[in-house]
Structure 1
């Protein structure tokens, strides 16, 4: 499917730039050109497709539905699925999370959304397909949705509302006394198309620098770091590799577009896929900037509980991936 991209990369590297085969710079540049073209094309197609989905799946309607309906546990799954179709990183998901809380949606449901949204979205899906193939992408998407669903259900059982700020608690109390309404808009696909196209360009423009930087780092690692360099520290035989990878990721921050090309190279250099994905989930889903934003509505204790539950679920996901692959 992508053979023509590899042929183009080879032509540019060997015929245009006239670089010698087998050199570190040659390998790095070839990797960079191939992955950049492939990933940008895939991400563009998937962002445009998800833009169509988003145009028929508006935020306010879902928020109002979740706040008014008793769904007997399925609300966590629905919130996670909603996280899949929203193109947000963890930091940009926080304002919408606050809106969910203000809308009266249970805290565990809002957490389910907050966990899934940065992990599984059109950007992550597009990158995963390009880097790891359809089968791995499907397993990753399912695991990300389950991660959000299970985390949200656990956090709801802990009854953590008392650890929200007094302002948020007052908002929650007031929301119980109000009935939210919304009007259904009827707009043709032709009329929606310009806004979908503009949104696609805006998202692609926003993530493109991170994609290029991530691929550039991956290219340097691919060309210059020897095979098996990481394997001695984070091999599948080391049972502590997955929690170490997840914990090391927490202080860092990047969107999926920046970290996934690096994950691809880590896997190519010998790190098991589950360990690398645990690292990626930690980087994307748990970050210090996110924690600072959450301080607006949560106590430090609640942030700590949230991070701890999600970290445990990420570690379990890493072990499951290592068993499967």
Structure 2
């Protein structure tokens, strides 16, 4: 889907700029160009689509349906499963988070999507089967969906809506006001200018957060050596899982990008649960993601989100080591 962006990034960095292929600066800048263009494009497309959906679809009815207690957590499971079938990294999921919140979806359900989306996708599953076999892949996919489901339920029960930033609160207030004033019989073509204007406004609001966040991720992607981590997460260390999670948080990559490193870890004797916990921390928790989320959440909310997800990732790591 984004091959043309990758081709442009390769041409710009390796041909125009003349940086060597697979050099530290080359890989870091290539990563920066590709992810910046991809996320900005996704943000515009998703916010525009959500604008159309919000104009025509009965969001209030969906919100009320998802909020009914008789679903017994099904809404969290559905959001988590939806996250598993969307090929987005953690930073790419932030635009969807904004769209979900704006659409009135309960915050806990939105968190269920945000947790699972970067962890599980079809590319990662295909690579996982080839590297670790079908059994490990099924356990990994199931644990990723359950992690999002349970994490979303826990975060939903904490009632964190008050910790959304004023910027998001203003978006919600304006959306409600526009919904009340908008005429029912307006055609899609009449609504599109306002929808696109709102999408561009959201991009303007988060632009520098995206640039700073991806810049941090690109630097870590290009300059942190793999061998650094292998010294601290060997199978003889009972604290290897939490150490792996802590070491993974400063990094940033998608599941497909970090899986080859995980394969090397396992080949060198690191338990697969520890390696997967590291991978989940890299793709599901990261400093760049926290930087992006700062636009929509207060630091307290980000800390709670990271703490809950970290706990469940560590638990998953230990369970993986026992099962596999």
Rounded Cα–Cα distance in structure 1 between residues aligned with 2:163 and 2:147: 22
- Decide which of 60, 63, 77 is 1:67's aligned counterpart: 63
**1:43 — aligned with what?**
none
Q: CA RMSD in A?
A: 3.1
Q: Displacement, 1:237? A: 4.0
| Gap change, CA 1:308 and 1:117, over 3 Å in 2 | same
Q: Deviations over 1:203-223 (max 9, x none)?
A: xxxxxxxxxxx9xxxxx98xx
Cα deviation for residue 233 of structure 1 reads: 4.2
Residue of structure 2 in register with 1:112 after alignment: 112
For 1:289 and 1:63, locate their aligned partners in 2 and report how far apart those are by CA, in whole Å: 34
**1:166 positional shift:** 2.2
Give me the TM-score of the superposition, normalised by structure 1.
0.63
The 1:176–1:108 alpha-carbon spacing in structure 2 relative to 1, beyond 3 Å, is farther
Shift of 1:134: 1.0
Contact 1:250 1:283 in 2 (8 A): yes
1:248 equivalent to 2:244? Answer no
Does the residue aligned with 1:239 lie in a helix, a strand or coil? Answer: coil
Cα distance, 1:66 vs structure 2: 4.8
1:301 aligns with 2:297: no
Q: Residues 242 and 270 of structure 1: is their aligned pair in 2 closer, same or farther, counting only changes over 3 Å?
A: same
1:149-204 C-alpha deviation (Å, 9 max, x unpaired): 1111111111111110123235546778969x9xxxxxxxxxxxxxxxxxxxxxxx
3-state DSSP of counterpart to 2:104: coil
SS at match of 1:148: helix
Matched residues in 2 for 1:260 and 1:82: separation?
A: 22
Measured against aligned partners, the alpha-carbon deviations of 1:282-311 in whole angstroms (never above 9, x if no partner) come to 001111111111111111111111111101
Partner of 2:131: 131
Q: Any conservation in 1 of the 2:168–2:296 contact (CA below 8 Å)?
A: yes
Aligned to 1:147: 147
- Partners of 1:241 and 1:171 in 2: CA distance: 42
Rounded Cα–Cα distance in structure 2 between residues aligned with 1:309 and 1:175? 30
Query: What's 2:196 paired with?
Result: none
CA distance in 1, matches of 2:119, 2:62: 21
Alignment TM-score, normalising by the size of structure 2: 0.63
> Number of residue pairs matched?
225
**Residues 78 and 66 of structure 1: CA distance in aligned 2, closer, same or farther (over 3 Å):** farther
Contact 1:131 1:264 in 2 (8 A): yes
Question: Which residue does the alignment assign to 1:268?
Answer: 267
Q: CA deviation at 1:140?
A: 0.2
| Superimposed CA distance per residue, residues 82-134 of structure 1 (whole angstroms, 9 cap, x where no aligned partner) | 00111111111100110000001111111110010010011111111111111
Q: Aligned partners of 1:72 and 1:138: how far apart in 2?
A: 24
What does 1:163-182 correspond to in 2, within 5 Å?
163-172=163-172
2:82 counterpart of 1:86 = no
CA contact (8 A) 2:120 2:144 kept: yes
Q: Which runs of 5+ in 1 are unaligned?
A: 1-57, 182-213, 215-219
